[in-house]
């Protein structure tokens, strides 16, 4: 009884071909590719809330900017988070007493925080600063203006 076995060389060693493995891969491709094509061909649901498109933020108003930009790291309750990185709490934050401090962080970044204010208009920067300084247990009512932000740039 002679059996013919396919053999291939891998780095100098002979190795038997595995017909079961080849059949499994062929089956996976035959079934998986059409299923993936069907699924990937459909429009995926958008994230809620939607993200801004492009190099600038479309949102207007401090609350909308906070929810769609800042809350991703600082959380919707502004209590921050620990995990892959440390995202400081903005709730009841004494650092927010200085609007200039918040403005500098938004425009220039700080440690791991990118300078997201560079992607915002002067009005948007002022709006989000005023929102954070007057919400989440913060009661810093002296507002910063778009003109103040323009001067700081």
134 in the same domain as 68? yes
In a domain? residue 132: yes
66 in the same domain as 26? no
- Residue 91, pLDDT > 90, answer yes
92 in the same domain as 17? no
82 in the same domain as 147? yes
Residue 58: which pLDDT band, with cuts at 50, 70 and 90?
confident
Give percent above pLDDT 90 in the chain.
Answer: 48
Cα–Cα distance measured from residue 81 to residue 91, given in angstroms and rounded to the nearest whole number? 12
88 in the same domain as 32? no
144 in the same domain as 98? yes
146 in the same domain as 73? yes
Structure tokens at 142: 């002296």
Q: How many domains does the chain have?
A: 2
72 in the same domain as 133? yes
95 in the same domain as 144? yes
pLDDT, tens digit (0-9, with 9 covering 90-100), for 67-84 = 998 998 999 999 998 888
Q: Could you tell me the residue range of the domain that residue 34 belongs to?
A: 13-41
């Amino acid at each position: 009884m002679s059996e013919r076995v396919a053999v291939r060389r891998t780095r100098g060693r002979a190795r038997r071909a595995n017909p079961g493995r080849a059949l499994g891969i062929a089956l996976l491709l035959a079934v998986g590719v059409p299923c993936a094509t069907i699924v990937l061909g459909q429009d995926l649901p958008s994230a809620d809330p939607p993200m801004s498109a492009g190099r600038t933020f479309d949102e207007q108003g401090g609350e909308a900017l906070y929810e769609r930009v800042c809350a991703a790291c600082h959380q919707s309750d502004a209590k921050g988070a620990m995990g892959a990185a440390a995202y400081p709490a903005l709730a009841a934050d004494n650092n927010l007493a200085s609007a200039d401090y918040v403005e500098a962080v938004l425009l220039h970044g700080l440690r791991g925080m990118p300078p997201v204010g560079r992607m915002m208009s002067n009005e948007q920067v002022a709006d989000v600063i005023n929102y954070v300084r007057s919400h989440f247990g913060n009661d810093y009512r002296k507002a910063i203006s778009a003109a103040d932000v323009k001067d700081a740039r």
